[in-house]
């Protein structure tokens, strides 16, 4: 079962997808936000093209686990998408995934402009990997 993940930012949405067995995560693309209706069309296109059966949204919790304004926005978006997409839409804790993605890119000597182009996609990969690892542990 393929699972898709979105790392949703103000200007960009990072997109990652699992392999058909739900074991590994690969970065797909970055959606440049153009309004909720156009963003929805892009997301639906990715779901259809990759035959995803589940959608995970990164949930930006505060470090103490509480929900701030950004987390509340994602929860509202989750409800919006759940009403309009043919797959279950869930959230997953994304704390420190952008920091981890930054570190990987810095360690790889990726330029600032290069990091800006891929950071959201890489963060989506990390979120999805965390979710897939959780599912694998839960299945034991």
Domains in the chain (CATH in brackets) are 3-138 (3.30.420.140)
CA 28 to the chain's CA centroid: 10
pLDDT at 17 over 70: yes
Joined tokens for residue 58: 């990164």
Contact 18, 25 (CB under 8 A): yes
98-125 average pLDDT score = 66
Which pTM value belongs to this model?
A: 0.87
Q: pLDDT tens-digit profile of 62-79?
A: 878 888 899 999 999 999
With CA atoms as reference, report the closest residue to 118 among 30, 47, 53: 30
Name the more confident of 103 and 60: 60
Give the pLDDT score at 94.
Answer: 85
Determine the Cα–Cα distance for residues 78 and 105; give it in Å rounded to an integer.
29
pLDDT at 125: 93
User: What would the pLDDT profile of 111-123 be if each residue is shown by its tens digit?
Assistant: 666 556 666 888 8
Q: What is the pLDDT of residue 65?
A: 81
State the average pLDDT for the chain: 87
Mean per-residue pLDDT, 23-34: 94
């Amino acid at each position: 079962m393929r699972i898709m993940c979105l790392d949703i930012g103000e200007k960009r949405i990072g997109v990652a997808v699992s392999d058909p067995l739900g074991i590994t995560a690969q970065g797909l693309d970055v959606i440049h936000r153009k309004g909720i209706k156009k963003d929805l069309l892009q997301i639906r296109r990715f779901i259809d093209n990759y035959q995803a059966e589940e959608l995970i949204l990164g949930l930006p919790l505060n470090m103490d686990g509480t929900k701030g304004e950004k987390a509340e926005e994602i929860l509202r978006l989750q409800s919006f998408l759940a009403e309009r997409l043919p797959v279950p839409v869930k959230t997953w804790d994304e704390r420190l995934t952008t920091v981890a993605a930054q570190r990987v890119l810095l360690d790889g000597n990726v330029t600032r402009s290069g990091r800006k182009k891929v950071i959201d996609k890489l963060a989506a990969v990390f979120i999805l990997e965390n979710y897939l690892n959780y599912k694998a542990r839960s299945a034991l």
